[in-house]
């Protein structure tokens, strides 16, 4: 059956009255249109200005225009594999993730979903498939409309805020059981495969792990998951935040990405040899991550706030040492049998665009395998004792990205230039704001 037919049948079967046509934008937020069912034609798709893909997180645009002078439209074509119902909608509503296509039929170069597909194609060309499993941390916080007031943990069912840090506490999870029941129900209704839910180190900080699988499907799930959790929280009079470092004195929130690579013909893991020992490809993959992650940093730490998470002794990496089951390293190899041998990239904050972070991680590993890059020796001590190896600020990270030709070749020049310009515009806007710290300590003291 044709894509359009599958969608038509699904919409009829579920008596849908409205269709949410979604695309993930550069920040990873849902953009698009809501269309009444009788006006929605899946074969036709719909149109959206290409400029939507060059917006900053504040809704602004870079000074230089990256779309053509005429501000053209692109076509949004539905991906039938992504059709789901919207569990919180009052009317029977469908949500479908769409692909951005130019009118000549080519993929729109700026669409994050296309960027990930482009990287996955490189693996496919070599007879390989990448497998990923994301883990997402996030905080529940009290609703606070005034952004000058620091965030606070929310009140749970005991009507008290959490005392201190309840790492891995089951009672602390039960404190918010209504929210988690709803998250589970709504995720199940959307076919999002949650693996586990744990309470993380921070106050009211949670972590959700997704089952491993196809990177595009998993990026879609992260995209929908964030949207779902925000929705559940607000209906329970809280905010869920995916900022990388929402509260001072609390750990940041990461999106760790577990990655392995299998052969398409027999599904065997190329990170392990026939004898079960680590293979050359495994070491080259790590070498590629060590070599190229610093330049790919704006995909893993996309905002000014992201860099606050990456500081010493805070369960977040400051360098790209790697080690076996060593959580202080940026690259950790979890305990596993040979068939599950994988590399955990601990660099990304949960504030990333999941399509771009997964694409960038797989791109760096791919370059390592292609160029046969050797990693450093594995680290058994603490990586926090090692020097910083990563850009400390967004503007430094953008400079590094702009100077890295191998990444530009693999992602496309136009995409890298546009993405960097968006990040530069965001950094400039942030830099214009004078913070309370500056007024407090500098106003009368310098």
pLDDT tens sequence for the chain (446 residues): 588 999 999 999 999 999 999 999 999 999 999 999 999 999 998 999 988 999 999 888 888 766 655 678 899 999 999 999 999 999 999 999 999 999 899 999 999 999 999 999 999 999 999 999 999 999 999 998 888 888 888 876 565 555 555 555 666 667 777 888 899 899 999 999 888 777 667 778 888 899 999 999 999 999 999 999 999 999 999 999 999 999 988 889 999 999 999 999 999 999 999 999 999 999 999 999 999 999 999 999 999 999 999 877 666 777 788 999 888 788 999 999 999 999 999 999 999 999 999 999 999 999 999 999 999 998 877 766 777 778 999 999 999 999 999 999 999 999 999 999 999 999 999 999 999 899 999 999 99
In angstroms, rounded to a whole number, what is the distance separating the alpha carbons of residues 296 and 377? 22
DSSP tag of 107: B
**121-418 shares the fold of 3-108:** no
Q: Calculate the alpha carbon distances from 412 to 54, 109, 241, 348, 406 in Å.
A: 15, 8, 32, 22, 10
Measured CA distances, 432 to 188, 261, 337, 421, 428 (Å): 43, 44, 51, 17, 6
Instruction: Note the Cα 298 to chain centre separation in Å.
Output: 12
CATH architecture of 121-418: 2-Layer Sandwich (3.30)
Specify burial of residue 210 (Cβ count, 10 A radius: 0-12, 13-18, 19+): buried
Please tell me the distance from the alpha carbon of residue 141 to that of residue 266, in angstroms, as a whole number: 46
Q: Helices 215-235 and 112-125 sit at what angle, rounded to 10 degrees?
A: 150
- E strands of 15-68, at which residues? 18-24, 30-36, 46-49
Right CATH number for 3-108 from 3.30.2350.10, 3.10.20.70, 3.40.50.880, 3.40.50.720? 3.10.20.70
Dihedral sign (CA 189, 194, 198, 204) = negative
Residues facing residue 210 across a β-bridge = 194
Q: How many CA atoms lie within 13 A of 107 on its CB side?
A: 17
Whether the pTM exceeds 0.85: the reply is yes
Q: How much of the chain is in helix, strand and coil states, percent to nearest 5?
A: 35, 20, 45
Residue 65: closest CA among 427, 430, 425? 425
CA atoms within 13 A on the CB side of 370: 17
pLDDT in tens, 385-410: 777 778 999 999 999 999 999 999 99
> Taking the domains of the chain in order of start, what are their residue ranges?
3-108, 121-418
Q: Which two tokens stand for residue 147?
A: 């952004």
Separation of alpha carbons 99 and 76, rounded Å:
5
Residue 194 DSSP SS3: strand
Q: pLDDT by residue (tens digit) across 278-333?
A: 999 999 999 999 999 999 999 999 999 999 998 776 667 777 889 998 887 889 99
Measured from the Cβ of residue 164, the count of other Cβ atoms closer than 10 Å reads 6
CB 49 within 8 A of CB 110: no
Length of the chain: 446
């Amino acid at each position: 059956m044709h894509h359009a037919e599958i969608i038509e049948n699904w919409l009829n079967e579920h008596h849908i009255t409205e269709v949410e046509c979604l695309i993930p934008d550069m920040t990873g937020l849902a953009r698009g249109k809501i269309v009444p069912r009788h006006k929605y034609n899946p074969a036709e798709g719909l149109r959206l200005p290409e400029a939507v893909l060059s917006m900053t997180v504040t809704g602004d645009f870079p000074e230089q225009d990256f779309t053509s002078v005429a501000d053209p439209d692109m076509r949004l074509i539905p991906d039938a594999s992504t059709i789901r119902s919207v569990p919180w909608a009052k009317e029977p509503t469908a949500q479908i993730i769409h692909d951005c296509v130019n009118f000549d039929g080519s993929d729109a170069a700026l669409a994050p979903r296309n960027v990930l597909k482009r990287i996955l194609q490189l693996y496919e060309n070599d007879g390989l498939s990448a497998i990923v499993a994301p883990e997402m941390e996030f905080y529940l916080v009290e609703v606070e409309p005034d952004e000058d007031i620091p965030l606070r943990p929310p009140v749970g069912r005991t009507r008290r805020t959490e005392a201190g840090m309840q790492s891995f506490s089951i009672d602390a999870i039960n404190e918010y059981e209504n929210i988690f029941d709803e998250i589970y129900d709504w995720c199940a209704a959307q076919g999002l495969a949650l693996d586990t839910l744990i309470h993380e180190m921070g106050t009211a900080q949670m972590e959700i792990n997704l089952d491993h699988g196809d990177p595009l499907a998993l990026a879609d799930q992260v995209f929908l998951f964030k949207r779902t959790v925000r929705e559940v929280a607000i209906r329970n009079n809280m905010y869920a935040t995916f900022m990388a470092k929402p509260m001072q004195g609390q750990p940041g929130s990461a999106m760790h990405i577990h990655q392995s690579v299998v052969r398409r013909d027999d599904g065997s893991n190329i990170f392990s040899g026939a004898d079960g020992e680590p293979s050359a490809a495994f070491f080259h993959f790590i070498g590629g991550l060590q070599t190229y992650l610093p330049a790919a940093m704006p995909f893993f730490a996309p905002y000014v706030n992201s860099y606050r998470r990456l500081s010493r002794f805070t369960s977040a990496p400051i360098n790209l040492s790697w080690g076996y089951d060593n959580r202080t390293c940026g690259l950790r190899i979890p305990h596993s049998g040979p068939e599950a041998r994988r590399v955990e990239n601990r660099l990304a904050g949960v504030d990333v665009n999941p399509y771009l972070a997964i694409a960038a991680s797989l791109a760096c590993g791919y370059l390592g395998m292609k160029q046969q890059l050797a990693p450093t020796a594995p680290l058994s001590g603490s990586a926090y004792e090692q020097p910083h190896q990563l850009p400390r600020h967004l503007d430094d990270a953008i400079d590094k990205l702009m100077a890295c030709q191998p990444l530009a070749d693999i992602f496309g020049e136009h995409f890298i230039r546009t993405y960097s310009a968006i990040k530069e515009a965001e950094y400039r806007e942030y830099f214009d704001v004078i913070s309370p710290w500056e007024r407090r300590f500098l106003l009368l003291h310098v």
